């Protein structure tokens, strides 16, 4: 990419608000001069450095920039790398080999999962078959109740099940790579929000070879946005619900909450919008468009994970699970509710990307044109 490093990354992505906080740059930084703030942004921590300065970058290191899933022409470069072509204008949710509605056949896994337990089933099978020796996921922060999430590493079935389900705060799972390295793990699955799933393509397209080799499968989570912990706490309190009493939450057009006493509550989603995490505001990717397999909870029936299978290795994993009887799958095209919502939500998110050239930055459309 030429002479580009932290300075360009800071000025073109972080400063203008395009940074999602995915932490790819922090994960990839070979000299550990990038830190991560409590409000989910990368930050220069080298001594005596300005926010956009990096002494290592000045000497030619550009790894942070290469790992970033939002730098310059990211979408076309990543489409080309993963699929050998750019998306067509009508491929609003990205390029797919197949779309399936799935459910883990193991009842324990299905119950632990947020929707059909597909993500957990993939991880368990990957670990038990030896396709991976660990996975970067997100765990609940014990003293903050089931809403706060933090990156973690799991290496067995118990670990996978303990970290199953969705938390609607942000968790930059690539940060768990450090722990995985300390544990000596070599082949990893990365589970992450849409923005994090594009790391699957950035490390391949831009030759961040260490992580290209380590990440054996990327499972993306469909995502419109995440919310701050404090915001969710406040909205729940407005409805008389103590966040510490919540045992499960789900979002399906509305915010659904199950509490310890067995009660179920529905809260209009719009009450949470003022508490959208800032890093999500300009994110155009609902459908985790560069994951090997993208997963979501949309469809006519509950307890199904919608799976968008995108790459050859994603297809191989999925086929192995279906052929082995670990997952039930039907074509998602049979469910117009799922398909319509997928298109609608993907289109809505794409409108967030700023179309005007940002002042003081290089010309870079970033996003490919699709049918609006
Ligand atoms: C913040 C957020 C927003 C989402 N928004 C939508 C949406 O708008 N529409 C939609 O269809 N689907 C959405 N999803 C995806 C959906 O909730 C399920 O994760 C997906 O359907 C997979 O279900 P499953 O039962 O197969 O996964 P499970 O087997 O339950 O596995 C889920 C995996 O996600 C990880 N995880 C949980 N929370 C987080 C987090 N905050 N950050 C990173 N990793 C996490 C877990 O550790 C686990 O590995 C969202 C998920 C999250 C976390």
Specify the pLDDT at position 2.
58
Q: State the pLDDT confidence band at 338, using cuts at 50, 70 and 90.
A: very high
Range in 143-152, 203-212, 363-372 with the lowest mean pLDDT: 363-372
**Cα 307 to averaged position of ligand 1 atoms, centre (Å):** 12
Nearest to 195 by CA among 294, 95, 285, 82: 285
Specify the pLDDT at position 365.
65
Interior/surface letters 30-59, b for 16+ CB within 10 angstroms, e for the rest: eeebbebeeebbbebebeebeeeebebbee
Q: What's the fold here for domain 229-273? A: Nuclear Transport Factor 2; Chain: A, (3.10.450)
Ligand 1 atom showing the smallest separation from residue 109 Cα: 29
* Coil, strand or helix at 80: helix
Give the residue ranges of DSSP H helices in 224-296.
229-238
| Percent residues over pLDDT 90 in the chain | 88
Ligand 1 proximal residues by C-beta, below 6 Å: 113-120, 137-138, 149, 163-169, 171, 173, 191-193, 221-224, 226, 251, 295-298, 305
Q: For residue range 152-165, list pLDDT tens digits in order.
A: 999 999 999 999 99
Specify the pLDDT at position 129.
98
Specify the pLDDT at position 3.
78
Structure token pair of residue 111? 């119950």
Q: How many CB atoms lie within 10 A of CB 129?
A: 12
* Coil, strand or helix at 304: coil
Mean pLDDT of 115-141: 97
**Cα 168 to averaged position of ligand 1 atoms, centre (Å):** 8
- Residue closest via CA to ligand 1's atom 10 equals 296
Range in 8-17, 44-53, 264-273, 275-284 with the lowest mean pLDDT: 44-53
Q: For residue range 42-97, list pLDDT tens digits in order.
A: 999 988 889 999 999 999 999 999 999 999 999 999 999 999 999 999 999 999 99
**Cα 106 to averaged position of ligand 1 atoms, centre (Å):** 19
Ligand 1 atom showing the smallest separation from residue 341 Cα: 11
- Residue closest via CA to ligand 1's atom 4 equals 223
Q: State the pLDDT confidence band at 144, using cuts at 50, 70 and 90.
A: confident
Cα separations in angstroms, 243 against 124, 162, 238, 261, 269: 30, 19, 11, 13, 16
**Cα 219 to averaged position of ligand 1 atoms, centre (Å):** 10
Measured over the CA atoms of residue 81, residue 83, residue 88 and residue 90, the dihedral's sign is negative
CATH 3.10.450.750 domain range(s) in the chain: 229-273
- pLDDT of 179 strictly over 60: yes
Class of domain 6-72: alpha beta
Structure token pair of residue 197? 């799933």
Mean pLDDT of 245-258: 92
- pLDDT of 149 strictly over 70: yes
Pocket test for ligand 1, best of 113, 114, 146, 159 (most atoms within 8 A of CB): 114
**Cα 237 to averaged position of ligand 1 atoms, centre (Å):** 24
d(CA 293, CA 285): 14
Nearest to 205 by CA among 350, 72, 314: 72
- pLDDT of 360 strictly over 50: no
- pLDDT of 208 strictly over 90: yes
**Cα 164 to averaged position of ligand 1 atoms, centre (Å):** 8
- Residue closest via CA to ligand 1's atom 46 equals 164
CATH 3.30.70.20 domain range(s) in the chain: 6-72
**Cα 7 to averaged position of ligand 1 atoms, centre (Å):** 33
* Coil, strand or helix at 278: helix
d(CA 188, CA 174): 11
- Residue closest via CA to ligand 1's atom 5 equals 223
Nearest to 229 by CA among 152, 166, 145, 165: 145
* Coil, strand or helix at 216: strand
Q: What is the mean pLDDT of the chain?
A: 94
**Cα 330 to averaged position of ligand 1 atoms, centre (Å):** 20
Ligand 1 atom showing the smallest separation from residue 116 Cα: 25
Pocket test for ligand 1, best of 124, 138, 166 (most atoms within 8 A of CB): 166
d(CA 220, CA 197): 5
d(CA 61, CA 5): 7
- pLDDT of 363 strictly over 60: no
């Amino acid at each position: 990419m030429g002479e580009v490093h932290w300075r360009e990354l800071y000025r073109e992505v972080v400063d203008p608000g395009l940074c999602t906080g995915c932490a790819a740059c922090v994960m990839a930084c070979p000299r550990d001069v990038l830190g991560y703030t409590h409000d989910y942004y990368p930050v220069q921590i080298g001594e005596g450095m300005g926010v956009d300065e990096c002494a290592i970058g000045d000497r030619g290191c550009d790894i942070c920039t290469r790992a970033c899933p939002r730098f310059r022409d990211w979408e076309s470069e990543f489409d080309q790398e993963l699929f050998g072509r750019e998306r067509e204008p009508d491929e609003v949710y990205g390029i797919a080999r197949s779309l399936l509605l799935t459910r883990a056949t193991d009842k324990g896994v299905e119950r632990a999962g947020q929707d059909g337990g597909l993500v957990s089933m993939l991880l368990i099978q990957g670990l038990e078959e030896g396709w991976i020796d660990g996975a970067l996921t997100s765990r609940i922060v014990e003293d903050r109740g089931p809403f706060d999430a933090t990156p973690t590493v799991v290496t067995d079935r118990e670990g996978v099940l303990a970290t199953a389900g969705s938390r609607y705060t942000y968790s930059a799972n690539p940060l768990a790579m450090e722990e995985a390295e300390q544990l000596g793990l070599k082949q990893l699955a990365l589970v992450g929000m849409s923005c994090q799933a594009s790391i699957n393509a950035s490390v391949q397209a831009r030759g961040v070879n260490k992580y290209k080799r380590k990440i054996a499968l990327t499972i993306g989570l469909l995502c419109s946005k995440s919310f701050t912990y404090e915001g969710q706490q406040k909205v729940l309190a407005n409805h008389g619900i103590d966040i510490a009493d919540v045992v499960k939450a789900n979002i399906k057009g509305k915010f659904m909450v199950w509490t310890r006493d067995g009660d179920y509550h529905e809260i209009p989603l719009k009450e949470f919008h003022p508490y959208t995490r800032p890093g999500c505001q300009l994110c155009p990717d609902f459908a985790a468009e560069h994951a090997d397999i993208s997963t979501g909870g949309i469809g006519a029936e509950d307890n199904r994970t919608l799976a968008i299978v995108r790459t050859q290795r994603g297809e191989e994993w999925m086929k192995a699970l279906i052929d082995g009887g670990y997952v039930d799958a039907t074509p998602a095209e049979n469910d117009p509710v799922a398909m319509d919502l997928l298109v609608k939500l993907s289109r809505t998110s794409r409108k967030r990307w700023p179309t005007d050239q940002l002042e003081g930055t290089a010309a870079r459309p970033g996003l490919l044109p699709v049918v609006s």
